[in-house]
Copies of this chain bind each other. A is one copy, B any other.
Amino acid sequence: MLGDILNSNARYLAQQLANLGIAHHYQTVVGDNPLRIQRAVAIACDRARLLIVTGGLGPTPDDLTMATLADFFDVPLVERPEAVADLEAKFARRGYALEPSSRRQALLPAAADILPNPVGTAPGVIWQPRAGLTVMTFPGVPKEMKAMWQTTAIGYLQANGWANGVIYSHSLKFWGIGEQRLAQQVAPLLAAANPTVAPYAGEHDVILRISAKADSIAEAKTLIAPVAEKIRAISGLYFYGQDDDTLAGVVGQLLSQRSQTLSVAESCTGGGLGQMITAVAGSSSYFWGGVISYDNRIKQHLLGVDEQVLMTEGAVSESVARAMAVGVRSSLGTDWGLSITGIAGPGGGSETKPVGLVYIGIASAAGIQVERCEFGADRDRDSIRQCSALTALNLLRLSLLKSKVTGR
């Protein structure tokens, strides 16, 4: 409640419930206060048949979940010998004795089933405190919560008739087109009921999410496929990938298909372009490396940029982007050379060269291309740098798509 923690548990559980086809209508967050926890539980029990609680199962005094739930449903807490044995074994493995504060974690509401914790100490429960109400408790630590969800909760829900059908989603990703314009292009599809199509603005890209409700994931995929096909046909080259695809991953696939190699020369991104490219496992098969030419001396000495050009046109110029791309391609001996030079800000801008002005160069056997971009209008340093690297990858993607798939 102080804003220290981003609630990633809620997001994870929402995704998991959607996958199981369990309708999920409310999330409530409440602090470590018995009265407020009980009020939140009272409201939840009135409107839901399944209550999932995370957090407050640990050994410290502010871990109140079990005691508060037992109190609310007027059931005693009972120390469970099997939970004590499990805690003792876990502490012994770490070379500690089980202290009273930690032993408290074995106190669980009478008649509740233990939800084992395979990675941490505190167990949870699966519990029917009333007819028609199931309560599940998990620790707040995401790794423990997820492990308990995967190893026990999913199976329990499936075996007890909760998981009826699935809601399955497939995302299509777009670069270089706004959310509104894309939504207009696919407008008729946005009105459909199953699958639904919803546009989202990503941080830099735009996403269309196709969601189908069906009896199985296979059936949902069958509903989704023709809609995805239609959208891809309408959106053309704006479409760059799907689901977990990244621009760097797509560029990597295109390079691999062509058995071609890449190097980069970075100024304002300072290594961020190389980092994105190498975030893809296996990128060493097509990415050889690059030069971070942050200082002009490095642009001259390692990339062969002409000192005269740096003086007359400045480091952020079409000529320098061109020379950097050509220089890194030739120096590293790769098929493609990709360069970025720009002003990331907050300082360093001028009237003719504002913050956010970025030149991107692409050199290959087919020639040299330089693109001038302005990213500064409402972006900060970090965002300008990210946008520069992603735009460079997208330009390379478009160049690769124009080049033939043949061996070198």
Q: Please report A residues at the B interface, Cβ cutoff 8 Å.
A: 1-8, 10-18, 24-31, 33, 36, 39-40, 43, 47, 119, 141, 167, 169, 200-201, 209, 211, 264, 266, 268-275, 277-279, 281-284, 287-295, 297-298, 301-302, 331-333, 344-347, 378, 381-382, 385
Q: Which residues of chain B are near A331, meaning CB under 8 Å?
A: 301-302
A284 — nearest CB in chain B belongs to which residue? B294
From known contacts A274-B292, A290-B292, A332-B298, infer whether A7 and B11 are also in contact, taking CB-CB under 8 Å. Answer: yes
Interface of A is mostly: mixed
Partner of A28, one of B27, B201, B279, B294: B27
- Within the complex, which residue of B11, B268, B378 is in contact with A3, where a contact is CB–CB below 8 Å? B11
Q: Which residues of B contact A119 (CB under 8 A)?
A: 378
Q: Which residues of B contact A211 (CB under 8 A)?
A: 2
> Complex formed: what's the CA distance from A36 to B287 in Å?
51
Which residues of chain B are near A289, meaning CB under 8 Å? 291-295, 298, 302
Residues of B within 8 A of A7 (CB): 6-7, 10-11
Q: Known: A294-B288, A346-B281. Is A6-B8 also a contact (CB below 8 A)? A: yes
Bound: A347/B278 CA distance, A? 13
Taken together as a complex, chains A and B put the C-alpha atoms of A277 and B271 apart, in Å, by: 9
Are A18 and B36 interface neighbours, CB within 8 A? Answer: no
Most buried by B among A1, A16, A24: A1
Q: Is the CB of A302 within 8 A of B291?
A: yes
Tell me if B290 and A347 are in contact (CB < 8 A): no
Residue contact B28 to A14, C-beta cutoff 8 Å: no
What's the least CB distance linking A187 to chain B, in Å? 11
Q: Do A291 and B291 touch (CB < 8 A)?
A: yes
| Known A271-B273, A294-B289; contact A3-B18, beta-carbon cutoff 8 A | yes
Known A271-B290, A272-B275, A281-B347: A15·B3 in contact at CB below 8 Å: yes
> Number of copies of this chain in the oligomer?
2
The residue of chain B having its C-beta at the shortest distance from the C-beta of A201 within the complex is B141
Q: How far is the CA of A376 from the CA of B31 in the complex (A)?
A: 35
What are the 8 A-B residue pairs with the smallest beta carbon separation, nearest first?
A: A271-B274, A270-B278, A3-B15, A271-B271, A3-B14, A27-B29, A289-B298, A288-B295
User: Which residues of chain B have C-beta atoms less than 8 A from A294's C-beta?
Assistant: 274, 278, 283-284, 287-290
Contact between A209 and B271 (Cβ–Cβ < 8 Å)? no
The smallest beta-carbon distance between A91 and chain B, in angstroms, is 11
Query: Is A26 touching B18 in the complex (CB atoms < 8 A)?
Result: no
Within the assembled complex, what's the spacing in Å between the Cα atoms of A18 and B7?
A: 17
Selected A-B contacts with CB under 8 Å, 21 pairs: A1-B24, A1-B25, A3-B16, A7-B7, A7-B10, A26-B36, A28-B28, A264-B292, A270-B271, A270-B275, A270-B278, A271-B274, A274-B294, A278-B385, A279-B381, A281-B344, A287-B295, A288-B297, A289-B292, A289-B298, A298-B332
CA A269 to CA B178, docked complex, whole Å: 32
Please indicate the chain B residues that have their CB under 8 angstroms from the CB of A268 in the complex: 278
B contact residues around A15 at 8 Å (CB): 2-3
Complex contact A200–B26 (CB within 8 A): no
Q: B272, B288, B297: which contacts A271 (Cβ < 8 A)? A: B272
Q: Which residue of B lies closest to A272 (CB)?
A: B275
Contact B28 A26 (CB under 8 A): yes
With a cutoff of 8 Å between Cβ atoms, the chain B residues found around residue A272 in the complex are 271, 274-275, 278
A3, B171: Cα distance in complex, Å: 13
**Which of chain B's residues have a CB closer than 8 A to the CB of A271?**
264, 266, 270-275, 277-278, 290, 292
A347 touches B282 (CB 8 A): yes
In the assembly, what is the distance between CA of A55 and CA of B17, in Å?
22
User: Nearest-CB distance from A206 to chain B (Å)?
Assistant: 13
- Report the bound CA distance from A108 to B289 in whole Å: 55
Are B290's CB and A284's CB within 8 A?
no
CB distance from A34 to the nearest CB of B (A): 13
